[in-house]
Amino acid sequence: MMLVPRRDNGFNIFDEVFNDPFFSESERVSKLMKTDVQEVDGNYLLEIDVPGYDKENIQLELNDGYLTVTATKNEDNETKKAKYLKRERFSGICSRSFFVGEDVKEEDIKANFKNGILSITFPKEVQKQVQEKKYIQIGD
C-alpha cells in the first residue's frame, strides 16, 4: 500500500469550485432590482433600480402584508433572431417581495417611477383606528 502525502494548506479545489458565483443563486438575483431602504419622516422609502423597464411593465401587489414588485421586459423579434457573442442584459420577469406590515393598505403606499428608479413610500407604523367602546345592557 502506498501512502500519498497530503498537503493541508486550507485549500480544497472542490470547495473553491462551488464558491464560484455561477453556483450562487443569491449572486444572480442580487444583480436585479437592487434596493435601498431608508427611513424618512416616519415613513419607509424603498428605491429600486429597474433600468430599461417601462412604467407600464412594473406592477405592485399588496398581499398579506407583503408588497411584491414585478417587472417584465420581453425581447422583441429582432433580438430573438440575433446571434449573441455575449449577453449580460436581462430579459424576462423579475420580482422582489418586502414585508411592509399587515396593517398597511393600498392607499397607504405611494409609488413614483423616474429615470429607471422606482420609489415606494409607506408608513413605518400605520395608525390603527381606535374602536368606540360598545356597552352591553344588562337586563332585569
Using one digit for the tens of pLDDT, what is the confidence trace for 81-131? 778 888 777 778 889 999 999 889 999 999 999 999 999 999 987 666 666
**Residues 24-60: pLDDT tens digits?**
444 444 467 899 999 999 999 999 999 888 999 999 9
Total residue count of the chain as it appears in this document: 140
pTM greater than 0.75 (yes/no): no
Residue linked to cell 420577469? 93
Query: Is 111 or 138 the better-scoring residue by pLDDT?
Result: 111
What are the angstrom distances between the C-alpha of 104 and each of 61, 95, 107, 126, 139? 12, 20, 8, 6, 41
The pLDDT score that the predictor gives to residue 29 is 46
